[in-house]
Amino acid sequence: MIETIFPAGATPRGPYSPGVRAGDTIYVSGQVASQAGDVPAQTRQVLTSLKNVLEASGATLADVVRCGVFLTDAGDFKAMNEVYAEFFGESRPARTTVIVAALPVAGAKVEIDAIAYKPRVVAA
């Protein structure tokens, strides 16, 4: 069974779902900050959005098994990584970080997507 995930207040910028649950796996679309700011501020906003999508599906950041991080400037890696560590703590999903020429939202400096694993609770 495939289920789309739209947390309250989520407004995608295109024809896609913020998240999709396929069985016990949750795919969170790339999240981009909707407000301008420095990389730490944008990373906080992005990870908060990602967390909201996960929570709407019954999962948490602790259920994330993989993230993809996209930065427009390699010099921002340390600042992004510090905020990322605040959110994930000891939960350390596999991750790829890619430096890109641009992101689809003007002024965006960071985008993060995720895959989580959270078995459905089946009523007895």
Task: Supply the pLDDT for residue 124.
Answer: 66
In 3D, which of 111, 108, 33, 27 has the Cα closest to residue 68?
111
* Residue 124 included in any domain: no
Global pTM value? 0.94
Task: Supply the pLDDT for residue 34.
Answer: 83
* Residue 122 included in any domain: no
- Give me the helices (H) in 57-104, please: 77-88
Average confidence (pLDDT) per 10 residues, the chain, 124 residues: 88 86 96 91 97 96 98 98 97 97 94 95 70
Task: Supply the pLDDT for residue 72.
Answer: 97
What is the three-class DSSP state of 103? coil
pLDDT tens, position by position, 4-14? 999 888 777 78
* Residue 123 included in any domain: no
CATH number at residue 95: 3.30.1330.40
